Chain A
Amino acid sequence: MLNLGLSVFSRNKDRDRKAVFRIPSRIEHLRKTSSRILDALVRYNVPETTLFNIRLCVEEAVRNAIVHGNHCDKHLSVTIAHWAEGRKFFIEVADEGRGFDYRRLPDPTDSEHILRNSGRGVYLIRKLMDKVDFNEAGNRIRMMKHL
């Protein structure tokens, strides 16, 4: 199941076109996913640093969805949506897992965690994006960046 080439578009008065696509739970789709989203940003003339940060956050969110959400189960997919509202750019990443308690993530900058080999992904997303929300279950993240 590979739906990278197929998008579902919708439009309303307040939004630019919304694109939705699904990818299999495989790490090799990370780069393709971020490239696809960066391609959608070309027309917005976005600063390079913003593009770098959006790429990083998309790949961190999708990686978390694949690895922690879907446990790399190739039968489960990750759904990605992106759209713009004026100069606000939104990205949603949802997996088919049970979610996690996003309120109780340890701070990776604490001295007791700083040497850990993991746990920086969501922290980076929260720092680099302008707004980050999870659904109640914790299996869908919505990120917003001002362009």
Chain B
Amino acid sequence: MGVKTEVKNGLTVCHVEGEIDINTAPEIKKAFDRLIGKKEPKIIVNFTRVTYVDSSGLATLVEILKNMRAYGGRMRLTNLSPKIKGLFEITKLEKLFEIMADENDAISDFA
């Protein structure tokens, strides 16, 4: 698991690679805590290389979102595989997160 961060059009884009589960959740949390510590106002998380998410991974993403909302930050998730997007739909977390099909759309629309 890894998180690579880049800036595109002034927005922070995080590319998560691998599995977001009970084993990797602390590492994911730590990577995002650094951005949250800087009160990053908008973060896009690209899931292209995310192969698996479990309930601990979902809980970690919820916690990151809550921490961002606390200072008025926003987070968008993009490029989820159908299987992983299905988990967000089943758990109704799709209502909580801004989920978009494509990273470029998420960037251009994230005014």
Contact = CB atoms under 8 A, between A and B. Distances in A.
Interface of A: 27-28, 30-31, 48-49, 52-53, 55-56, 59-60, 63, 108-109, 114-118, 120-121, 123-124, 127-128
18 contacts: A27-B23, A30-B22, A48-B83, A52-B52, A52-B83, A53-B83, A56-B52, A63-B54, A108-B91, A109-B92, A114-B96, A115-B62, A116-B59, A121-B55, A123-B90, A123-B91, A124-B55, A124-B91
B55 A120 contact: yes
Interface string B44-75: 00000000101110110011001000000000
A117 B55 contact: no
A124 B52 contact: no
Given A53-B83, A118-B55, A118-B59, 16 more contacts: A30-B22, A30-B23, A49-B83, A52-B52, A56-B54, A59-B22, A59-B54, A60-B55, A63-B54, A63-B56, A115-B62, A117-B59, A120-B58, A121-B55, A123-B91, A127-B90
B105 to A, nearest CB: 25
A109 B21 contact: no
Interface residues of B, number: 21
Contacts of B92: 109, 114
Given A56-B54, A120-B55, A124-B87, A114 B93 contact: yes
A124 B63 CA distance: 18
| Chain A binding surface SS class | helix
Given A52-B52, A55-B52, A120 B59 contact: yes
B96 A124 contact: no
Contacts of A28: 23
B10 to A, nearest CB: 29
A9 B109 CA distance: 57
Contacts of B23: 27-28, 30-31
A120 B96 contact: no
A53 B22 CA distance: 16
B59 A60 contact: no
Nearest to A124: B55
A32 to B, nearest CB: 12
